[in-house]
Chains A and B, each alone.
Chain A
């Protein structure tokens, strides 16, 4: 059972916009920034969003992050087949005193 709650799966057709949620608590998301990672099998996870809504250079602006209260979201617009992957949210938990991740959301591009 992950500290951060994500839906197990999400799906969309090419060109659509999908949103993946990440639910936490006052000890993690509410007061700490959230990062998002894209993970393809047998590859290194890739940082997509940091500080809740900032994109590293090289990440397309189709990917955007937001945070409100104890929840965060990753939105992917203009969905492409290569976006099919697992997506994880992460942040620091002040009560546990360690990093926590969501359980991951498997995105399927139909």
Chain B
């Protein structure tokens, strides 16, 4: 059974960099059949897609992040990671990792992690 689990810094100071990792089990990131996304939910608000990565390391990001996001993949550890720079209080959210489609326009997210709360505060 596919499982995703987020881990990383729960408290980040303003202007610093948020770092999260998603460990994937029950399947291989290198299979090439899926993309791997980060999605967040600010408290009391809706879901926002951050970006995705393929095992080939091709990435695509939500333009609203203004180039602050970096997603990387480590196929040897079967995990992928998110770094978000220059964080502000607006980046406080529950961050989810999720498995998505190869064809972004036609797909869906079929497996999600439980989420990791990241708070930006001094």
Asked if A and B bind, the verdict is yes
A residues at B contact (CB < 8 Å): 2, 32-33, 35, 37, 42-47, 50-51, 56, 88, 90, 92, 94, 96-104
Within 8 A of A (CB), among B60-76: 60-64
**Is B32 an interface position by the 8 A CB rule?**
no
Within 8 A of A (CB), among B91-116: 96, 98, 104-115
**CB 8 Å contact bits of B19-61 with A (1 = contact, 0 = none):** 0000000000000000001010000011111000000000011
How many interface residues does B have (CB within 8 Å)?
27
Chain A residues, Cβ within 8 Å of B62? 98-99
Q: Which residue of A lies closest to B61 (CB)?
A: A98
A99 touches B96 (CB 8 A): no
B residues at A contact (CB < 8 Å): 4, 37, 39, 45-49, 60-64, 96, 98, 104-115
In the bound complex, CA of A100 to CA of B62 (Å) = 10
Closest-CB distance, A60 to chain B (whole angstroms): 17
Task: Choose among B46, B60, B107, B115 the residue that contacts A101 (Cβ–Cβ < 8 A).
Answer: B46
- Take A44-B96, A88-B47 as given contacts and tell me if A97 and B63 are in contact as well, using a CB distance cutoff of 8 Å: yes
